[in-house]
Structure 1
Amino acid sequence: MTGTALANAIAEYLSSIEAGNYRENADSALQQWAEWLARERDVSHLDDVAVIDCRRYARHLKRRVRADELKSSTAHTYYAYVRAFLGFCEADELISKNPAAVSRAQAELPENTADADRQFWSQRDRKSILAFMDKRVERALDGDGVSRERAYRDRALVRLLALSGVRGAEVFRSPADDKRPGAAWKDVDIDGGSIRVFGKSREYEYAQLPRKAADALERYHRVFDPPTPRFPVFPTDHAPSKFRAVREQLEGEYTGNRIESILDENDIDDVVREYEIVIPAISTRGARNLMKRLCAEAGLDIDGEYLKPHGARRGLGHQLYSEGHAELAQSALRHASIATTHESYSNIRASETAERVDDVLDES
């Protein structure tokens, strides 16, 4: 066997990926695929990967779905990682054609039922959680429940998700991606009604900030009074992370003994504020856990689940689109083209078409 070793090609591909989460997930999927190729197809070099190997791999994934070892959406995701890798190899002129992109290979994939399972916040659920967050703030002001600062923070977080169309990874910290540290106050333009985020395109974009979301952020900002505009909008509560940030950012300005003395003699939050320490933002996982707790407090049960952060974006788009505002949905969700918006809400278009067909048939 000659040519590029599969392991070397995979390493080269992974080194080209900027997004940490995607790189980590792709690494895992591609290593599993390479092991399967070596074991089942006796293939270890890139040049030897043929269409039939990809077709057999797709069939292997289908069998795992039938055995309840994988969800159909996961099987499609695994295959997509392989297809993307081989597409990279084609573009890099390591192979002449992407064998995973051939239709007869992809035909063996299981039916993808992911769309039917995707959660979105219904209008009723959105109103319920927003009303609960308002009442929670009122209770905090009366000295009942969580602190006033926490109540304002959580309300701002839920309103931002529910009304702006932002993705969780755009406003919360993604631990595997250095370019996604979470939104900072310097990114928020309350008067201008926008928030600057690092978008899915891996370019900075401006997401719309409706009045109710902007008002919640403005009141939270007034109560919290962040020590610096570089401070995260939704900071972590993880004490070790705060201590680590203080030590790292005061290093060079003070001796190690002096830093430890400062930490021993003062509350960590007071140190953060006095020395304008920029602590990490809450992580995407932390935000999901927070939404679980809030839904439990509010008594909201969505088919045994909680209101997931990304479901807020889908729910906003669903309502705008279903009410006839396709272009507004495109703008709010920052889709590159209206075709993407139409595709995302094709179920609504099909329903509307059915109603129109019924009207025509009833008249005939």
Structure 2
Amino acid sequence: MRPALERFAAFCQREGIDEIRELEAGDLREFGYMLREGQIDGEIAASTANTYFAYVRAFLSFCVREELLDANPAKTNKATEYLPEDTNDSSSQFWTPEQRQAIVNYATKRVDMANDGTIRTDPLTASRDRTIVVLLAETGARGAELFDDSKDEKRDGITWGDVDLENHVLSVFGKSRNREEVPLPKAARDVLKRHRRYTDPSTDEWPVFPTGQFQSKHGVLEDELGEDRLSKAFEERGDMSKTDVLDNLLREHEIAPPSISKEGARRVMKRLTDEANIELGDGHEYLKPHGARRGLGAELYALGESEKAQQVLRHKSIETTHEAYSDLKTKDLAESIDEIRE
């Protein structure tokens, strides 16, 4: 039970929960969400996440028996709302090198088509989508670190102020709940340079991946300028579309639009996977953001660069990296036996 309870103790410390009696069902729901994030990132299996939660629930039942709690907050539907479904499927998606190249090539071609006017997508959106693909593929960053997370007020997507092309790093709000540096290899730096020319950010607070949702931009402007001022701008727009009015106001008043959400980024990846006709033989519907992170780690690990994989993925220990890619290690050992006997 030690790994589960240590993880729970660290969660409580981070949330400022000092005593058992302070725990509520909402706190356990957030702990379940944290376990789900670990499962999405490929650090633990869905079965492990559920086992960890069961251990914590058992510990809290003990606390009830010892009269430290009136009731067990983990024994509620609310507490288990975000736990991942345990499908007994131990396999996690990771992008293969071929899939990674195919999706990058298509996203790049899509920018060219947008510039030529052969597709209805505007060049800025196409550039944004290409940058999403490349940063996922090349940096090992988590989706929650790059995009807006509606369930976490501290995760509102990366901005241009987080990008340091000169020192080849990207600053993110990491899983540790602290700022962490993500390395930017050449492919990532190149696409960011091109994307910056498309976005032409007016401030460092401008998101690298601005949302395309009308209501999200409308809401920000309404909060900053007021409903009356916004309504007047729509009345005087002439032939200009309402979306263009919003975009012009954002730039004119240097009001940063919201970043694309994690859900929005997943929709982008699903659309690009479908349009690129990429075949997935692993039972997954599309190339998911967390699969890019696992794919990069798998490539490094397969090359014998386990320590580099640990550093890129920012695992706290090499044991975490070994556990995440134990299947590759076993396969490598099997091939080594074959080579020796040959």
- Same-fold call, TM > 0.5? yes
Matched residue of 1:144: which SS? coil
Taking a change above 3 Å as real, the CA distance of residues 309 and 25 of structure 1, as seen in their structure-2 partners, is closer
Q: Matches of 1:359 and 1:276 in 2, distance apart? A: 62
Q: 8 Å contact 2:36–2:46 — kept in the other structure?
A: no
Give the number of the structure whose residues are more often helix, by fraction: 1
Larger displacement relative to structure 2 (285-294 or 143-152): 143-152
Q: 8 Å contact 1:263–1:271 — kept in the other structure?
A: no
Matched residue of 1:121: which SS? coil
Matched residue of 1:207: which SS? strand
Q: Read off the aligned partner of 2:231 and give its amino acid letter.
A: E
Q: Matches of 1:10 and 1:169 in 2, distance apart? A: 31
Q: 8 Å contact 2:266–2:288 — kept in the other structure?
A: yes
What are the equivalent positions in structure 2 for 1:137-156 lying under 5 Å apart?
137-145=111-119, 146-156=121-131
Match in the other structure for 1:337: 317
Note the alpha carbon deviations across 1:253-308, whole angstroms, 9 max, x for none. xxx43343234434111111111122221111111111111111111131352100
Note the alpha carbon deviations across 1:237-257, whole angstroms, 9 max, x for none. 111111110011225xxxx43
Match in the other structure for 1:120: 94
Match in the other structure for 1:202: 177
Matched residue of 2:255: which SS? coil
Indicate whether 1:262 and 2:233 are aligned. yes
Q: Matches of 1:89 and 1:191 in 2, distance apart? A: 53
Match in the other structure for 1:193: 168
What are the equivalent positions in structure 2 for 1:291-330 lying under 5 Å apart?
291-303=269-281, 305-330=285-310
What are the equivalent positions in structure 2 for 1:172-321 lying under 5 Å apart?
172-251=147-226, 256-266=227-237, 267-303=245-281, 305-321=285-301
Taking a change above 3 Å as real, the CA distance of residues 264 and 197 of structure 1, as seen in their structure-2 partners, is farther
Q: Matches of 1:190 and 1:18 in 2, distance apart? A: 38
Could you say which structure has the greater relative contact order, defined with CA pairs below 8 angstroms and 6 or more residues apart?
2
Indicate whether 1:355 and 2:335 are aligned. yes
Taking a change above 3 Å as real, the CA distance of residues 88 and 246 of structure 1, as seen in their structure-2 partners, is farther
> How far apart are residue 125 of structure 1 and its match?
0.3
Which one of 104, 128, 132 corresponds to residue 130 of structure 1? Answer: 104
Q: Matches of 1:277 and 1:323 in 2, distance apart? A: 46
> How far apart are residue 316 of structure 1 and its match?
0.4
Taking a change above 3 Å as real, the CA distance of residues 249 and 332 of structure 1, as seen in their structure-2 partners, is same
Match in the other structure for 1:41: none
Q: Matches of 1:180 and 1:323 in 2, distance apart? A: 33
Note the alpha carbon deviations across 1:45-102, whole angstroms, 9 max, x for none. xxxxxxxxxxxxxxxxxxxxxxxxxxxx65654443242355578799938xx9x9xx
Question: Considering only CA atoms, is the larger Rg found in Structure 1 or Structure 2?
Answer: 1
Note the alpha carbon deviations across 1:186-222, whole angstroms, 9 max, x for none. 1111222111111112221111111111111111111
What are the equivalent positions in structure 2 for 1:9-88 lying under 5 Å apart?
12-14=23-25, 22=33, 76-85=48-57, 87=59
Q: Matches of 1:190 and 1:182 in 2, distance apart? A: 18
Taking a change above 3 Å as real, the CA distance of residues 14 and 183 of structure 1, as seen in their structure-2 partners, is farther
Q: 8 Å contact 2:163–2:170 — kept in the other structure?
A: yes
Match in the other structure for 1:105: none
Matched residue of 2:304: which SS? coil
> How far apart are residue 326 of structure 1 and its match?
1.0
Taking a change above 3 Å as real, the CA distance of residues 14 and 229 of structure 1, as seen in their structure-2 partners, is farther
Q: Matches of 1:17 and 1:235 in 2, distance apart? A: 32
Matched residue of 1:353: which SS? helix
Q: 8 Å contact 1:21–1:176 — kept in the other structure?
A: no
Taking a change above 3 Å as real, the CA distance of residues 294 and 80 of structure 1, as seen in their structure-2 partners, is same
Q: Which runs of 5+ in 2 are unaligned?
A: 1-19, 38-44, 75-85, 238-244
Q: Read off the aligned partner of 1:306 and give its amino acid letter.
A: Y
Matched residue of 1:205: which SS? strand
Q: Which runs of 5+ in 1 are unaligned?
A: 1-8, 27-72, 101-110
Q: Matches of 2:32 and 2:159 in 1, distance apart? A: 21
Q: 8 Å contact 1:121–1:311 — kept in the other structure?
A: yes
Q: Matches of 2:200 and 2:249 in 1, distance apart? A: 15
Matched residue of 2:279: which SS? coil
> How far apart are residue 136 of structure 1 and its match?
1.5
Taking a change above 3 Å as real, the CA distance of residues 347 and 74 of structure 1, as seen in their structure-2 partners, is closer
Match in the other structure for 1:168: 143
Q: Matches of 1:135 and 1:221 in 2, distance apart? A: 18
Fraction of identical pairs, as percent: 40
RMSD, aligned α-carbons: 3.1
Q: 8 Å contact 2:35–2:49 — kept in the other structure?
A: no
